[in-house]
Amino acid sequence: MKIAVYGASGYQGGLVLAELARRGVEPVAAGRDAARLEKAGAPWRVAAAGDHEGLVSAFAGCDAVVNCAGPFTVTGAAVVRAAIAAGCHYVDTSGEQLHVKQVFDTFATQAREAGVSVLPAATDGCVPVDLLARLLADRLGPLAGIVTVHAVTGGGMSRGSLRSVAETIDAIRAGGLIYSGGDWRPGGAARGEVRLPGRAETTAVAAFPVPEVVTIPRHVPVRYVAGMTEAALGERLNSPLTPEMIDSLPDGPGAAIRRAQRFTYVLDATGADGRRARGVVRGSDTYGTTAVIAVESARRLAAGDAGAGVLAPGQALPPEGFLDFLGAYGVRWSIEPSHISDLSDIS
């Protein structure tokens, strides 16, 4: 099996290459800059994101592409188009909600007709949360609503993540999309208080453009989906750094900082019959976990385990099986059947 990594010269791209090596998968390091790719430690091919034929040649003969070249809102669609043209299955490490929506809106037919599986947002945040939404619906039946909350302590952000924030700052300030009444629309900058697991006090949360708002309704019977993050994070991101300031930072958190980082993703679900349940995913090292998720997803797509088309995690991967696979990497998940949600306070 041969898997290309586009954006292989970047921080996340390097972690994905290391994970491919660990799993014994033959890599191709692809990107726009030969001098930087040469240092990636893998056979490399050069193609700029604007060069369709070049991208198709770079991906030729590969079973799948893992795209790590953010900001994805700028170049992601070109890489998806080229992967489909090359007959390669595709995953990316995007956390950008509008990119994920654009991939579903633009490439569903092309991917299906080409027999290619396309899985945007193969990340620590989107995949476990989307899969857990499926399991909540299996237990509660059709859902009236799901509200997800992301909380991350420690770790810091990579330069690439900061560039993605700067590129999508308008969507972040506006709170992103919600899913309601069968379609997606701007949700407004909702705020609220929620009791997060392991914390004595409630935590202030604010609407945030997370990708699972786009993916969950593709396979879960649900009337309403919204995504939130800790309000303190939203406030920090509200004044993005300038490109010069970002360029002067290290490429991303080092191994010790990554190990000390903790993430908690909470899903509060309400069934159509009023029953409630809470799903929780916890782990450490968002970037390392994303490398594991992106590589394992690409491997499974390349093995022909998913259907053709643009797919949500819950359409491409077995929910319980994949979450349990992540257990070996320190990701823990649970469903509490009778949790009374605090999120009714959100306005």
Applying CB under 6 A, the residues found at the interface with ligand NAP are 7, 9-13, 31-33, 36, 49, 68-72, 74-75, 93, 95, 123-125, 158-161, 163-164, 251-252, 286-287, 290
- For the CB of residue 58, give the shortest distance to ligand NAP in the complex, in Å: 11
- For the CB of residue 144, give the shortest distance to ligand NAP in the complex, in Å: 27
- For the CB of residue 95, give the shortest distance to ligand NAP in the complex, in Å: 2
- For the CB of residue 193, give the shortest distance to ligand NAP in the complex, in Å: 24
- For the CB of residue 87, give the shortest distance to ligand NAP in the complex, in Å: 21
> Which CB, 139 or 332, lies closer to ligand NAP?
332
- Provide long-range contacts, Cβ within 8 A and 24+ apart, for 315-318: 315/218, 315/219, 316/117, 316/119, 317/127, 317/131
| Contact indicator for 269, 146 with CB cutoff of 8 Å | yes
Q: Supply angle C-alpha 101, 103, 105, rounded to 5.
A: 70
- List Cβ neighbours of 337 (8 Å cut-off, separation of 6 or more): 139, 277
- For the CB of residue 7, give the shortest distance to ligand NAP in the complex, in Å: 3
> Which CB, 68 or 98, lies closer to ligand NAP?
68
Dihedral sign of CA atoms 196, 156, 284, 228 in order? positive
Q: d(Cα 223, Cα 228) in Å, to the nearest integer? A: 17
> Which CB, 40 or 280, lies closer to ligand NAP?
40
Return the SS3 of 335. Answer: strand
> Which CB, 123 or 264, lies closer to ligand NAP?
123
> Which CB, 84 or 308, lies closer to ligand NAP?
84
> Which CB, 52 or 223, lies closer to ligand NAP?
52
State the alpha helices, DSSP H only, in the chain.
11-22, 34-37, 52-59, 72-85, 97-114, 126-140, 159-167, 169-174, 212-215, 231-237, 243-247, 255-260, 286-302, 313-316, 319-327
Q: Give whole-number Cα distances, 11 to 2, 7, 22, 160, in Å.
A: 21, 9, 17, 8
> Which CB, 127 or 140, lies closer to ligand NAP?
127
- For the CB of residue 291, give the shortest distance to ligand NAP in the complex, in Å: 8
Cβ-closest residue to ligand NAP?
160
| Contact indicator for 64, 297 with CB cutoff of 8 Å | no
